[in-house]
Structure 1
Amino acid sequence: MSTPRDPRPRNPRRRGTPDRTVKGTSPRENGGQGRPRGSVDPARTGTAAKGGRPRPRGKAVPSRRPPRGPVPPLRRRFRRSDPGPRIRIALALMGVVLLVFAGRLVQIQGIEAASYASAAAELRLSETEIPTTRGSITDADGRPFAMSVEVRTVFVDPYDVKADERDTIVTELSRRFDLPEEEVARKVDSDDSRYQVIAREVPLEEWKELDELDLQGVAAETAYKRVYPEETGAANLVGFVGTDGHGLEGLESVLEDTLAGDPGSRQVELGTGGTEIPMANGVAKEPVPGHDVRLTLDQDVQWRAQQALAQRAGELGADSGSVIVMRPTGEIVAMANYPTYDPDAIEESTPEQRANGALSAAFEPGSTNKVITAAAALEEDVVTPDTVYTVPDSIRRHGETFRDSHNHPTQRMTLNGIMATSSNVGTIKVAEDVGAEGLYEYLGKFGFGEPSGLGLPGENSGILTAPDEWWGTQLASISFGHGISVNAVQMASVYATVANDGVRVEPTVIAGSTDENGEFRPAPEPAKERVISEETARELRLMLEAVTGEHGTAQDARIPGYRVAGKTGTANRVDPDTGSYDTGGYTSTFVGMAPADDPELIVQVVLHNPKEQYYGGEAAAPVFTDVMSFALKTLQIPPTATEQPNIRLFE
């Protein structure tokens, strides 16, 4: 019986097939490192390399690792035995990287060199502001109401302070600027900043004295301080600036664009630790000074108006008041207010003290309004100055009784007499001849119910309602100045219109300003409008002159050597707290002009709630006389050369 054949392939070497030894592997040909020719590989015979047992013949032993497949061409290229391709690829990659770096360097150092240099410079440069001077506010003759003076901001650089001068600096700075030594020491020893402000608005002379001590680390910057000459009396009009140098109230605020100027700028280079290194030609922008503004005011007249008002208000215990001095052509010569404040000590003032009451306080004009009633009657040819009215001391209209200020028997008065004695009853009769529509028309023509034209903040334009809204007694009450309201500038403008031969010129307080070359440029001409004829204006002036005459209500308003025309006014005042007349007291006014034959000045006086005396002729007229007398002399207006004519007051 035959033995089954082993299906596994036989090892050909078992039949003595010669070993296909590669040439050079014998000990002689391979330095003794190969196997002897004809020797059998122990791995092929199954014999362990180190003492293993021989494998049984006729049995094939599977290989320990799977047979390798064909090696991919790319892997054959990267075998360790052949490094050439790898080196060539590495060199190519390095070349590409170097080309990228070279291109970037060309871009930075060649194409974009200027922009990168500029960016680098900006990291070292800092821009600081160069302060500029704010324009001055002056009177008509150039005397300042507000001006800027050069001062210093004193600071210390802790980094630059010498150790052996530290105590001296602390002592000196605290003594000179009246500061606690602990506060100064904290700033001198600070490591938060190299700019520690010690004092602001230091006068130039004080800084020079300190600078002479040559204390290292103590320095100063140029700054400007706004100052207001004392006792000019114009604080409520001029206003003030804030800590940043910008106008906050009054003309300082309204004229900000003209006064402020434009600060400059300077570039400095920052060294190690933030030290500023000035640069040659480092001024980036030159500072542009502000423009000066010239007012129509006269500083002397302004001062006297303020003093006279404050004195009289104090004597009578008035809550507030104002004085306006105006030329017939609308230029305001003085605008005084009570109470007032010190613009150099804003923190000590109240909003009420800072208010410009000449514009912000509206009041019932009382009998000073009678001039408009008379003007309407004359202009519409309803009456003449000699037209006679029967005037009792009281009259009833729509269930209400209207009285004159004093009891008198029924009299036959001309229009001249009605104005001279300030008769309410006579004025009501004249107004009824004019009619509501006619009276309303002339009130509007004289500027009631509209802003004065000054363009100042906080103005109260008053109240003037249309005739279709007037109730039964309102024509009567409006005719003598009740039931409507105005401010002091509006009322002064009415009398300026009469003084200017019937032409109303919009009030103004700005004469002009300087341009960039320092040359004066006048302000634009104000608006003008004829309200009444020249003849009517002349007749009204004669009526108003009679007010200061023998039978008039304002004999205290006379001024020796001058003919004076004017009108008293007394009106109930609304209490601002309760909205009632019962507790509001009175508003006392007087407004007049001089010389009456050729007017040069108008003075309007208003006292709100005087306690001791409240009739306009008693309370306000003395202020008029004081201010007008001073203004006539100060402005060198010659005395009147004509005599006051006799006018008929009674039949």
Structure 2
Amino acid sequence: MSSSRDGRSRDPRRPGSSPRSGRGPAPRDRQARPRGSEGRRPARETPPPRRPRSGPPPRRPGGGGGTNPPPRRPVRRGNPRRRLNTAGILMGVILLVFAGRLVQIQAIDAPEYAAAAEDMRLKSIDIPTTRGDITDSSGDALALSVEARTVFVDPVAVRDDERDRLVDELTRRFDLDRSEVARKVDAEPRRYEVVAEKVAPEDWKAMEELGLSGVGALTDYKRVYPDETGAADLVGFTGADGHGLEGLEGIMDGTLAGEPGKQQVEMGAGGVRIPMAEGLAQEPVPGKDVRLTLERDIQWHASQALAERAEELDAAGASAIVMRPNGEVLAMADYPSYDQSDYSDYSADDRANGAVADAFEPGSTNKVITLAGALEEGLTTPERVYKVPYSVQIHDRRFKDDHFHKTQNLTLNGILAQSSNVGTIKVGQQLGAQRLHDYLRKFGFGEPTGLDLPGENAGILADPDDWWGTQLPSISFGQGLSVNAAQMASVYATIANGGVRVEPTLVSGTVGEDGGFEASDEPPRERVVSAETAEELTRMLEAVTGEHGTAESAQIPNYRVAGKTGTANRVNPETGDYDGHTSMFVGFAPADDPELVVQVVLHDPKDEYYGSEAAAPVFTDIMSFALKSEKVPPTGTEPPNIRLFGDG
């Protein structure tokens, strides 16, 4: 150790000492190197701090009165081999994860990913199926489906040298707008453009034989309704998608429609489908045919006779029903009607099935129920005599018969044959409100017919507890309640069937693809009156068409006919007030062995509105044709001699 000038020893390793002899003190801006333990130098010196690139230079140690910063602590460096090993392990783990994921994707989950990729490219579409036919009882079609074609173009596949000819041929053959066809032919890169729908197969075949590129066709079906069936309001129609919208087409859609097939279709750019890449995935299941109880010839004749009379009398509407006593409907005609192929050109009122949709007061046709209840309850007999004046005052209302007459002694037979309102009121008072209401219900009033047709109006029948002073006499002869034509036809079918009511039916059953027939369930049956009461009512109704009855015009040569006229005030559906009349006739034949029931209703006929004048001639026309069509033999017996008037 050497001595300094001031007598103190100077350690050459301390700051300010120079390790080299013959040299002055070390510059102040250099820091002394830190020592290791026991005077050894450390393995590596800490480099001096770098000077910033910008800003004022750092203050030099010892300058400007500043103090020296404390020496930096040495930085310990880890073992580089350890770091390399750790990094290698991490990279190995990551690679293992990637490798495992690749194995999962390419081996384990490969089918799922392939299916997902296919789903993005392939779509499943419905293949149209054959809709079942609607036929009459003999299998004659009232609605059927015929094969058709949907013509399309693939713009990508159209050759340039055939483009103009293709546009011309499509325009001419299918009666299309040329500019619209040209736009679709030029719709590249699209691969599928529908040009024409519901094309007849023979028309497409002629087009196909030209051999033009880029044009094709898919099988489809269109609904056809044979002309002049007279059943449009009953059968209804289908929409553009082939599903039923109204009538039997609508309510039987689940049976008629069948089940469409499935087809795998490749989707091109922009989501357009490429029909050429189609593959069948599921066969379509054809719909079942629906066989009705209708007879096509009777249906057609009934509609023609009804329309002719309705137009002659300028009626607002009309309906006619032909039914067997067991409830099977052979015809259900309505006026006005419409063309099912152009249904959008007609209003909803024109398309409604008035036989079930139009409710009306039954008038004198309802009298048979009042008399049936009184006979069944043992309150009267056909020969009982009633004193019947022209009118009667009840509470604040005076009830009258249709034509003036002096006070008469009428039997119960005579009350019905003469259609006396006053006489029927007397019988109704014997029966009473509750029992009258019960028989009206038993005969089917105030509830649906069971035909399940759309738009059915079940009519109005108030609870007897709500009847007030004059409702019992009013309802007795057919005012103050409402029914539809099918309900009233069912009343007379019940009498013709020996007093047993069978719920009306239209659908006989269905026919499957194999041609096998499956019958519908048997309709409900209920005895309403005894066979004896039904027979007495039949004789009384036969007197209505006799010499002293109100409906001689309903007679049919060689057949005994039982029936009843009806004339009621018509309720205007728009105002709710009485406006015009409803004319009716309903009856059955042959009276001694009933086979057919016919109901005719004319709404608001002009000039002639009494049932015997307006409706009875239509009944005669339709019944005569139906008896011949069904080959019903003429009646072999004479009508009984029925006493209508009492002594005195």
The TM-score with structure 1 as length reference comes to 0.88
The equivalent residue for 1:177 is: 174
The equivalent residue for 1:432 is: 429
Q: 1:599 aligned to 2:604?
A: no
Q: CA deviation at 1:399?
A: 3.2
The code of the aligned residue for 2:631 comes to Q
Work out the CA distance in 1 between the residues paired with 2:566 and 2:404: 18
- The one-character-per-residue Cα deviations of 1:337-368 (angstroms, maximum 9, x if unpaired) are 11111111111010001111111111000100
Verify the 8 A CA contact 1:267 1:278 in the aligned structure 2: no
Instruction: Tell me: CA distance 1:211–1:3, structure 2 relative to 1, closer, same or farther (3 Å).
Output: closer
The code of the aligned residue for 2:27 comes to V
Q: CA deviation at 1:205?
A: 1.0
Work out the CA distance in 2 between the residues paired with 1:271 and 1:613: 70
Verify the 8 A CA contact 1:447 1:494 in the aligned structure 2: yes
The equivalent residue for 2:369 is: 372
The equivalent residue for 1:616 is: 611
Q: CA deviation at 1:95?
A: 4.0
Work out the CA distance in 2 between the residues paired with 1:85 and 1:278: 64
Q: 1:346 aligned to 2:346?
A: no
Q: 1:396 aligns with which of 393, 396, 405?
A: 393
The code of the aligned residue for 1:364 comes to E
Work out the CA distance in 2 between the residues paired with 1:8 and 1:570: 148
Q: How does 1:202-281 map to 2 (within 5 A)?
A: 202-269=199-266, 276=274
Q: How does 1:476-491 map to 2 (within 5 A)?
A: 476-491=473-488
Q: 1:288 aligned to 2:248?
A: no
| SS of equivalent residue, structure 1 residue 345 | helix
Q: CA deviation at 1:272?
A: 8.0
Q: CA deviation at 1:72?
A: 5.5
Work out the CA distance in 2 between the residues paired with 1:452 and 1:515: 27
- The one-character-per-residue Cα deviations of 1:223-271 (angstroms, maximum 9, x if unpaired) are 1111111111111111111111111111111112111111111224457
| SS of equivalent residue, structure 1 residue 201 | strand
| SS of equivalent residue, structure 1 residue 219 | strand
Work out the CA distance in 1 between the residues paired with 2:312 and 2:152: 49
Q: CA deviation at 1:277?
A: 7.3
- The one-character-per-residue Cα deviations of 1:486-536 (angstroms, maximum 9, x if unpaired) are 000000000000000000111111111124644111111111110111011
Q: CA deviation at 1:470?
A: 1.7
Identity score, percent: 62
Q: 2:135 aligns with which of 117, 120, 138?
A: 138
Q: 1:200 aligned to 2:197?
A: yes
Q: CA deviation at 1:65?
A: 6.0
Number of positions where the alignment pairs a residue of Structure 1 with one of Structure 2: 604
Q: CA deviation at 1:16?
A: 12
Work out the CA distance in 1 between the residues paired with 2:356 and 2:375: 30
Q: Which moved more, 1:363-372 or 1:413-422?
A: 413-422
- The one-character-per-residue Cα deviations of 1:602-622 (angstroms, maximum 9, x if unpaired) are 000000000120000000011
Verify the 8 A CA contact 1:133 1:148 in the aligned structure 2: yes
Work out the CA distance in 2 between the residues paired with 1:633 and 1:640: 13
Instruction: Tell me: CA distance 1:7–1:341, structure 2 relative to 1, closer, same or farther (3 Å).
Output: farther
Q: CA deviation at 1:445?
A: 1.1
Q: How does 1:568-587 map to 2 (within 5 A)?
A: 568-581=565-578, 584-587=579-582
| SS of equivalent residue, structure 1 residue 504 | strand
- The one-character-per-residue Cα deviations of 1:450-479 (angstroms, maximum 9, x if unpaired) are 111112221111111122222222221111
The code of the aligned residue for 1:295 comes to L
Verify the 8 A CA contact 2:17 2:25 in the aligned structure 1: no
Work out the CA distance in 2 between the residues paired with 1:561 and 1:288: 51
Instruction: Tell me: CA distance 1:161–1:66, structure 2 relative to 1, closer, same or farther (3 Å).
Output: farther
| SS of equivalent residue, structure 1 residue 610 | coil
Q: 1:637 aligned to 2:632?
A: yes
Work out the CA distance in 2 between the residues paired with 1:464 and 1:526: 23
Work out the CA distance in 1 between the residues paired with 2:18 and 2:245: 122
The equivalent residue for 2:43 is: none
Instruction: Tell me: CA distance 1:605–1:275, structure 2 relative to 1, closer, same or farther (3 Å).
Output: closer
Q: 1:551 aligned to 2:548?
A: yes
The equivalent residue for 2:6 is: 4
The code of the aligned residue for 1:4 comes to D
The code of the aligned residue for 1:276 comes to I
| SS of equivalent residue, structure 1 residue 586 | strand
The equivalent residue for 2:27 is: 61
The equivalent residue for 1:22 is: none
Work out the CA distance in 2 between the residues paired with 1:537 and 1:95: 101
The equivalent residue for 1:538 is: 535
The equivalent residue for 2:107 is: 110
| SS of equivalent residue, structure 2 residue 508 | strand
The code of the aligned residue for 1:496 comes to A
Q: Which moved more, 1:378-387 or 1:611-620?
A: 378-387
Instruction: Tell me: CA distance 1:74–1:382, structure 2 relative to 1, closer, same or farther (3 Å).
Output: same
Instruction: Tell me: CA distance 1:463–1:192, structure 2 relative to 1, closer, same or farther (3 Å).
Output: farther
Q: 1:460 aligns with which of 451, 457, 462?
A: 457
The equivalent residue for 1:39 is: none
The code of the aligned residue for 1:625 comes to T
Verify the 8 A CA contact 2:190 2:269 in the aligned structure 1: no
Instruction: Tell me: CA distance 1:575–1:271, structure 2 relative to 1, closer, same or farther (3 Å).
Output: closer
Work out the CA distance in 2 between the residues paired with 1:114 and 1:6: 92
Verify the 8 A CA contact 2:10 2:17 in the aligned structure 1: no
Q: CA deviation at 1:419?
A: 1.0
Q: 2:621 aligns with which of 584, 603, 626?
A: 626
- The one-character-per-residue Cα deviations of 1:91-150 (angstroms, maximum 9, x if unpaired) are 555544443333233222322222223233333323232111111111111111111111
Q: CA deviation at 1:481?
A: 0.6
Instruction: Tell me: CA distance 1:102–1:623, structure 2 relative to 1, closer, same or farther (3 Å).
Output: same
Work out the CA distance in 1 between the residues paired with 2:496 and 2:472: 26
The equivalent residue for 2:42 is: none
Work out the CA distance in 2 between the residues paired with 1:561 and 1:385: 26
Work out the CA distance in 2 between the residues paired with 1:556 and 1:277: 66
| SS of equivalent residue, structure 1 residue 344 | helix
Work out the CA distance in 1 between the residues paired with 2:17 and 2:461: 142
The code of the aligned residue for 2:367 comes to K
The code of the aligned residue for 2:612 comes to G
Verify the 8 A CA contact 1:247 1:256 in the aligned structure 2: yes
The equivalent residue for 2:56 is: none
The code of the aligned residue for 1:369 comes to N
Q: 1:647 aligned to 2:642?
A: yes
Work out the CA distance in 1 between the residues paired with 2:13 and 2:643: 166
Q: How does 1:26-175 map to 2 (within 5 A)?
A: 57-62=23-28, 64=30, 67=33, 68=46, 74-75=77-78, 77-78=79-80, 94-175=91-172
Work out the CA distance in 1 between the residues paired with 2:381 and 2:32: 141
Q: CA deviation at 1:6?
A: 6.7
Work out the CA distance in 2 between the residues paired with 1:571 and 1:376: 22
Aligned alpha-carbon RMSD (Å) = 2.4
Gaps of 5+ in 2: 34-45, 47-71
Verify the 8 A CA contact 1:130 1:287 in the aligned structure 2: yes
- The one-character-per-residue Cα deviations of 1:138-172 (angstroms, maximum 9, x if unpaired) are 11111111111110111111111111111111111
Gaps of 5+ in 1: 18-43, 46-55, 79-83
| SS of equivalent residue, structure 1 residue 542 | helix
Work out the CA distance in 2 between the residues paired with 1:209 and 1:608: 52
Verify the 8 A CA contact 1:10 1:58 in the aligned structure 2: no
Verify the 8 A CA contact 2:258 2:288 in the aligned structure 1: yes
Q: CA deviation at 1:635?
A: 1.1
- The one-character-per-residue Cα deviations of 1:425-449 (angstroms, maximum 9, x if unpaired) are 2111221222222222211111111
Work out the CA distance in 2 between the residues paired with 1:498 and 1:154: 58
The equivalent residue for 2:294 is: 297
